[in-house]
Amino acid sequence: MTRVVSLVPSLTEAVAVSAPGLLVGATEWCDHPAGLDVVRVGGTKNPDVAAVIRLRPDLVIANEEENRESDLAELRAAGIEVLVTEVRDLGQAFRELERVLVAGCGVARPRWLDEAEAAWAAWDAVARPAIVRRAVVPVWRRPWMVLGRDTFAGDLLARLGVANVYATHTERYPRIPLDELRDCGAQLVVLPDEPYRFTADDGPEAFPGVPAALVSGRHLTWYGPSLAEAPAVLGAALRSALP
């Protein structure tokens, strides 16, 4: 049986749901599915490489954005196969999920992946609205950071009728002063609950007069089983914020 260590929370969930028993290690941030019982190997940005090696995995799953190349190089030097994903839009997410699960882990294509593709295809064909709001999408504060160019979350929002004001920025996650964010012409502020946990009391007050949509970070930024329900969950959250 293949022994897998995942350094990406969304991919941890994808593997655990698709092939229970393959995962032997995951990061402290891998909190789905609930009750996942595997060895914890540190964070995504600071994994305990020695602990990963001790688990003797056949495969380590990583992401070019979430994990550091220096850590992955150390794992490769120890003779461990490392599969690195790149996800910038929904179509790429589906392709990478199949590569991880079928080619990487050797399991049959899971039903949830078909259901996720079908859910988004149905949304695009029937429910996808034209762009109805220009939005700023913070992902951190102190300092303020927002979605910029070529992001998976930005692509999902566009499919839901929300245009990211900073989609043409030169950086993918630029740091933007709050005064500039307030003056960027956004008609909506989208506040996910991860990586920074924005709440009704922490985030909306920074954008007086602008409607705020509090959304599930797992549905906006994770590529895994949550994609099947993401159109409905995110669509409802966005609609509830619009006047």
What domains lie within the chain, and their CATH numbers? Answer: 4-109 (3.40.50.1980), 126-241 (3.40.50.1980)
Q: What is the pLDDT of residue 132?
A: 73
Q: What is the pLDDT of residue 129?
A: 63
Tell me the pLDDT band of 158, cut-offs 50, 70 and 90: very high
Cβ-in-10-Å burial (0-12, 13-18, 19+) of 65 comes to middle
How does pLDDT run across 171-205, given as a tens digit for each residue? 999 999 999 999 999 999 999 999 999 999 999 99
Q: What is the pLDDT of residue 131?
A: 61
What is Dmax (Cα atoms) for the chain?
Answer: 56
How does pLDDT run across 58-95, given as a tens digit for each residue? 999 999 999 999 999 999 999 999 999 999 999 999 99
Tell me the pLDDT band of 1, cut-offs 50, 70 and 90: low
Q: How many CB atoms lie within 10 A of CB 214?
A: 17
How does pLDDT run across 94-151, given as a tens digit for each residue? 999 999 999 999 999 999 999 999 999 988 766 666 667 899 999 999 999 999 999 9
Exposure string of 127-160, with b = 16+ CB inside 10 Å and e = fewer, is eeeeeebebbbbbeeeebbbbbbebbbbbbbbbb
Closest CA to 222 of 71, 6, 59, 23: 6
Report, as an integer, the average pLDDT of 212-238.
95
Contact 174, 166 (CB under 8 A): yes
pTM for this predicted structure: 0.92
Peptide bond into 9 cis (omega under 30): no
Per DSSP, helices labelled H in the chain are 9-18, 49-54, 69-77, 90-98, 111-122, 152-159, 178-182, 217-221, 230-241
Residue 10 CA from chain centroid, whole number: 7
Peptide bond into 143 cis (omega under 30): yes
CA distance 42 to 33: 18
Q: How many CB atoms lie within 10 A of CB 168?
A: 8
Which tokens go with 150? 């070529």
- What lies within 8 Å, CB to CB, of 109 at 6+ separation is 98, 101, 102
Report, as an integer, the average pLDDT of 146-164.
95
Report, as an integer, the average pLDDT of 9-35.
95
Q: What is the pLDDT of residue 123?
A: 86
Residue 32 pLDDT > 70, yes or no?
A: yes
Q: What is the pLDDT of residue 191?
A: 98
